[in-house]
Amino acid sequence: MFQKITVLLEMIKFKLTIFAMPFAFMGAFLAERGVPDALTFLWVVLAMVGARTCAMGFNRIVDARFDSANPRTADRAIPSGAVSSVEAWIMVIAAGALFFFAAWSLNPLTLKLAPVALGLTLFYSLTKRFTSFCHLILGVALAFSPLGGWVAVQGSLISYPWALSLGVLFWIAGFDTIYACLDADFDKKAGLHSLPSQLGQTNAFRLAVLFHIIAFCLFAFAGVQAGLNLVYYIGVLIAAGVIFYQHKLVNPNDLSKIKGSFFSLNGIISMVLFAATWLSLIIEG
């Protein structure tokens, strides 16, 4: 059983929950203007874990036939037979139930928004079949992370810094566009859609740079909306430096470092922005 759970968690890249989790914390801490109470914090964590596990498991299920035909992904758990579709569906349903229970435990508005947030993350897994703007749709889905954290604490949308969610949208769209370059040739042959397969890798990288410039302008403006101090903007500059390094590390002619960039640097960016937010609120308090 332990081995099976380990395989399931690896299948959904559970450790990458760190991408969106800090943004949910940002929303929650901004709503509280400090650290939320322990129970609220716990439900936010469980909601995020449930939502991402459900969405990633669903993605692996519906993409299994494409994964099995793609040399890069053929050894994933479902195509390789390490996990059955039934086992994956059990995980998806259990994770979805956890997400809705956590939302119900928080407040009525969180529960009302829960189907929209989870529905978008599930819908994303189908979008490569018909649109090259799938990366932006993923961004919209994950833009609910800080919004969800805010609503979990406040129980309303009043005074929410919307630039924060918009920043997450373009940040996610940018690095997902870069990551999609790994499968650009396969997507084109399989009839799947992505910006790299549609525009070519060079143009896709240029568009990703534009997405990230927009994202960090929005992150800076979110600080203005939230009334944060200089510490936050220093954090934004550090995170912008990390994203600049990411673009120097990976280019259309050399994708060999893209996985390292995807798995580590993006986690650093979200944690830096959260840490800067928290420190700003500490100084304010």
DSSP H or E stretch at residue 268: helix 266-284
- The pLDDT score that the predictor gives to residue 264 is 76
Q: Indicate the pTM of the whole model.
A: 0.94
User: CA-CA distance, 11 to 6, in Å (whole number)?
Assistant: 9
Residue 251, classed as helix, strand or coil, is strand
User: CA-CA distance, 155 to 116, in Å (whole number)?
Assistant: 16
User: CA-CA distance, 151 to 3, in Å (whole number)?
Assistant: 37
Helix H, strand E, coil C: the string for 176-231 is: HHHHHHHHHHHHHHHCCCCHHHHHCHHHHHHHHHHHHHHHHHHHHHHHHHHCCCHH
Residues 6+ apart with CB under 8 A from 20: 48, 52, 142, 145, 168, 270
User: CA-CA distance, 183 to 202, in Å (whole number)?
Assistant: 14
User: CA-CA distance, 191 to 29, in Å (whole number)?
Assistant: 43
Residue 3, classed as helix, strand or coil, is helix
Burial of 57 (0-12, 13-18, 19+ CB in 10 A): buried
DSSP H or E stretch at residue 275: helix 266-284
Residue 256, classed as helix, strand or coil, is coil
Residue 71, classed as helix, strand or coil, is coil
Task: Please give the backbone phi and psi of residue 193, each rounded to the nearest 5 degrees, phi first.
Answer: -115, 140
Residues 6+ apart with CB under 8 A from 154: 31, 160
What does DSSP assign to residue 265?
I
Task: Name the CATH topology of 2-284.
Answer: Tetracycline Repressor; domain 2 (1.10.357)
User: CA-CA distance, 141 to 152, in Å (whole number)?
Assistant: 17
- The pLDDT score that the predictor gives to residue 149 is 97
- Each residue's pLDDT expressed in tens, for the chain with a length of 285 residues: 556 566 655 655 655 566 789 999 999 999 999 999 999 999 999 999 999 899 989 999 999 999 999 999 998 888 888 888 998 999 999 999 999 999 999 999 999 999 999 999 999 999 999 999 999 999 999 999 999 999 999 999 999 999 999 999 999 999 999 999 999 999 999 999 999 999 999 999 999 999 999 999 999 999 999 999 999 999 999 999 999 998 888 888 888 778 766 667 888 899 999 999 999 999 997
